[in-house]
Chains A and B, each alone.
Chain A
Amino acid sequence: MKCRKCKAVAAVALPSHNTAFCPDCYPVFVRSQVERAIHRHKMIAPGDRVLVAVSGGKDSLALTLLLHELGHDVHGLHVDLDIPNSSTDARAACEGFFAKLGLPLTVIELRREGLAIPLVKSRIKRPICSVCGKLKRYYFNKFALENDYPVLATGHNLDDEVSRLFANTIRWDHAYLSDQGPLLPAESGFARKIKPMYRLTEFEIANFSFLRGIDHVIAGCPYSGKASFPIYKGLWSGLEERMPGAKVQFYENFLREGRPVFAAWSDQQGQLPTPCTECGYPTSAERCGVCRIKAMVADDEK
């Protein structure tokens, strides 16, 4: 196979785009995909400081590099979950990467908040991943709010987005279907949320990370076993294999045809969040979910 641009031996073949690229031309292709997504959805305005949520995995580090190379003002935020055999490496990967690029990185340690994930896991009955995700979102949002970042960027890729959309569709979860997308405008105290890599697959990002020598963590979280997303990802990769382009079509058609319908419907049901009485975070209850988890963990401690 030959590179579409320069005819050198290809390193990456992309059936969904019906094309292939050499090691030099491929990163340029990836960058242009991200640049186009940012432009098309008006994700970042000139002068915006962009807060990037980084886990230490390939997606969020690749996003950091791409945004930096596209000339955006990037600040990293990592939440140290304090999970044994996982969090130390993840944090070190973030710190090493940001130091190499000379970019600022802030680390929030859940242990200091009394919310180390193993402790929380031992206190709750719900699956830990839903609580862990809630905590991460909370601290990203809160940090963006308190430090006046207009934009919060995450490294979600097309596979993440498609499996989430698929999960929401299987449940016909209209609340989630009404606001899933690569851009969530700032509202009720939340920063604008963007997913500049939503058109790139996991495979495409893995190739980019390899070719650009990004040092990311490979081993997964020891608690990741029971999530349902991997099942959907498996189904979709089988489908994509037989129908190249199926993923991007499913997602883009949803954004165009499906989402507006759900959004209009949910506007009628709308209930505006109010500040949490304890921490000020926007919530639909009096006390936000994280303050409730905190209280529960602290109660058990006594």
Chain B
Amino acid sequence: MIYIRLEPEGRTMHFPRLGTVLQLLRKLGLGNNAALIIRDGELLTPDRRLHAGDEVVVRTVTSRG
């Protein structure tokens, strides 16, 4: 299982399996530059592989007024 936390909403979800960050972005309906993808404090580019047990933060980038 791969565990996802969406920020800033704070919602969580999980996927049984995902190949890459790109696949995660597509599943969430996000473009490549719509969010920071963070695993263990490290930023991941879309080509990086995700593994079972990963905890991933998806932080969408939109600025306030």
Contact B63 A202 (CB under 8 A): yes
Assuming the A-B contacts A11-B43, A20-B45, A219-B8, are A203 and B63 also in contact, with contact meaning beta carbons closer than 8 angstroms in the complex? no
The reply to whether A224 and B65 contact each other, CB–CB distance below 8 Å, is yes
Tell whether, in the assembled complex, residue B45 and residue A10 are in contact, meaning their CB atoms are under 8 Å apart. Answer: yes
The residue in chain A whose Cβ has the minimal distance to the Cβ of B21 is A13
Interface size class of A (residues with CB under 8 A): 35 or more
**Bound: A217/B46 CA distance, A:** 26
Q: For A86, give the chain B residue with the smallest CB separation.
A: B64
State the CA gap A199–B35 with chains docked (Å): 19
What's the least CB distance linking A231 to chain B, in Å?
12
Cβ of A224: which chain B residues have Cβ within 8 Å of it? 64-65
A207 CA to B33 CA, complexed, in Å: 10
Known: A13-B46, A206-B61, A217-B64. Is A237-B38 also a contact (CB below 8 A)?
no
The answer to whether A207 and B65 touch across the interface, beta carbons within 8 angstroms, is no
- The one of A15, A55, A207, A211 that contacts B64, using a Cβ cutoff of 8 Å: A55
Closest CB-CB distance, A287 to chain B, in whole Å?
26
Contacts of A240 in B (CB 8 A): 31, 33
Report how many A-B pairs have Cβ atoms within 8 Å.
Answer: 75
Assuming the contacts A11-B42, A206-B36, A218-B8, asked whether A58 and B47 have C-beta atoms less than 8 A apart, the reply is: no
Give the residue name and chain of the A residue nearest to B31 (CB).
A241
In the bound complex, do residue B31 and residue A238 qualify as a contact, i.e. CB atoms below 8 Å apart?
A: yes
A235 to B58, CA, bound (A): 21
Q: Which of B42, B44, B47, B61 contacts A203 (CB 8 A)?
A: B61
Partner of A12, one of B43, B59, B62: B43
Are B7's CB and A23's CB within 8 A? no
Check if B34 is an interface residue, CB within 8 A of chain A.
Answer: yes
Chain A residues with CB under 8 Å of B32's CB are 13, 15, 241
Instruction: Report whether B45 and A160 are in contact in the complex, using a CB–CB cutoff of 8 Å.
Output: no
Residues of A within 8 Å of B63, CB to CB, are 57-59, 157, 159-160, 202
Cα A201 to Cα B62 in complex, Å, equals 10
Contacts of A57 in B (CB 8 A): 63-64
Distance A132 CA – B64 CA, assembled complex (angstroms): 13
Judging by beta carbons under 8 Å apart, are A221 and B36 in contact? no
Shortest Cβ-Cβ A-B pairs, 8 listed: A11-B43, A206-B61, A203-B33, A13-B45, A220-B64, A241-B31, A218-B8, A1-B45
